[in-house]
Amino acid sequence: MTGTTTAADTPAAPHFRFFTLEVLRTRRLGHSFLRVTFGGESLADFRSGGFDQSLSLFLPPAHQEHTELPSTEEDTWFGAWRGMPDEERPVMRSYTVREQRRTEEGVDEVDIDFVLHGDSSPASRWAGKAVTGRRIMAIGPAVAENKSVRFQPPAATDAVLMYADETALPAAAAILERLAAGTAVKAWFEVPHEDDRIALAAPADADITWIVRGKGAGRERTEQVLEQVRAARLPAAEAPYAWMAGEAGTIRAVRRHLVQERSIDRRAVRFTGYWRLGASEEQLLAEAYAGKAPSEDPASEL
């Protein structure tokens, strides 16, 4: 996951705590993707729930090498962070844990995949210049069963439908790796460039359609996605479950199609808007602070 932190991503529950992440190495995955591998002693207490596990990163301003926060205490960190001068306040963004592992040497590592688009966003700018030894702060899971894992198919699920754009592809990839062998999956993955069609490990029986986005934006972009979804043959299933994440407007359109034209129970459609066309990340953060972020409840109205 990559994008703006919502109210659901800033938990105060003891299931979450602060961690210090140190850059160990980076690796380019495709035209738009960079994987940053983090380590650090505090990761011994990190407990990813897998699938689309999210965490909140605090990225330092451009003139600072490491993240500095005035407080990491549960009851005071948010107010202290918000009270920092604009030019000194670390940028908070929500991302997906692509993978957590313990190496043979007993070192805990966490991979996070960033979408690169130059210096047009603080996260892309930071990732593009990340070097070994840089440290950032994060709020992440201290227990594996936590509310920041949104992929929660009911026990009766007999097929999985997925849509993700590039911001949600790391989450989608992590989900695919964890699905049981033989699970019927139909997925549509939208990316900006041909060489962003990265190899994905999928024990499940996954039929993946890659949608390489043209130069169109807005409605034209959404229609390109809908054209592929409408033309697809879905797996035969009594209880399909749909997971979608990416640009909010496109997700709404795909969800509407699945519910209204494919007769999929809206309660079995999980959707998360990682970003919204025409809105800056700071606008979305302000909406989240004001409690105006759109509902992610699967039963909410279209």
Residue ranges per structural domain of the chain: 2-141, 159-289
State residue 201's pLDDT score.
Answer: 87
Tell me what pLDDT residue 3 has: 55
| Residues above pLDDT 70, as percent of the chain | 86
Backbone angles phi, psi at 99, to 5 degrees: -160, 145
DSSP structural state of residue 258: I
pLDDT tier at 204, thresholds 50, 70, 90: confident
CB 32: neighbour CB atoms within 10 A? 21
Predicted pLDDT of residue 276: 72
For residue 169, pLDDT beyond 50: yes
One fold for 2-141 and 159-289:
no
- Position 290 scores a pLDDT of 59
pTM for this entry: 0.87
Determine contact, residues 180/262, Cβ cutoff 8 Å: no
CA distance 56 to 96: 9
Helix residue ranges, H only, 148-264: 169-178, 219-231, 248-256
Average of pLDDT values for 233-249?
Answer: 95
Beta bridge partners of 262: none
Residue of higher predicted confidence among 219 and 77:
77
Per-residue pLDDT band at 293 (split at 50, 70, 90): low
Q: Which CATH class is domain 159-289?
A: alpha beta
pLDDT band, very low/low/confident/very high, at 106 (cuts 50, 70, 90): confident
Q: Are 20 and 66 in contact (CB under 8 A)?
A: no
**What burial letters (b/e) apply to 40-66, b meaning 16+ CB within 10 Å?**
bebbeebebbebbbbbbbbbbbeeeee
Token readout for 212 is 């390489």
Q: Which CATH superfamily is domain 2-141 in?
A: Translation factors (2.40.30.10)
pLDDT band at 283 (very low <50, low <70, confident <90, very high): low
Strand stretches in the chain, DSSP E: 2-4, 16-28, 33-39, 54-59, 91-96, 99-102, 108-115, 135-141, 159-164, 184-191, 205-212, 240-247, 269-275
Given this model, what pLDDT does residue 6 score? Answer: 45
Q: What is the mean pLDDT of the chain?
A: 88
Farthest-apart Cα atoms in the chain, separation = 55
User: Is 215's pLDDT higher than 50?
Assistant: yes
pLDDT digit string, tens, across residues 26-35: 999 999 999 9
pLDDT digit string, tens, across residues 115-149: 998 888 899 999 999 999 999 999 999 999 999 99
How far, CA to CA in Å, does 261 sit from each of 184, 254, 270?
Answer: 20, 10, 17
Alpha carbon distance 11, 13 (integer Å): 6
Q: Which pLDDT tens digit goes with each residue over 37-52?
A: 999 999 999 999 999 9
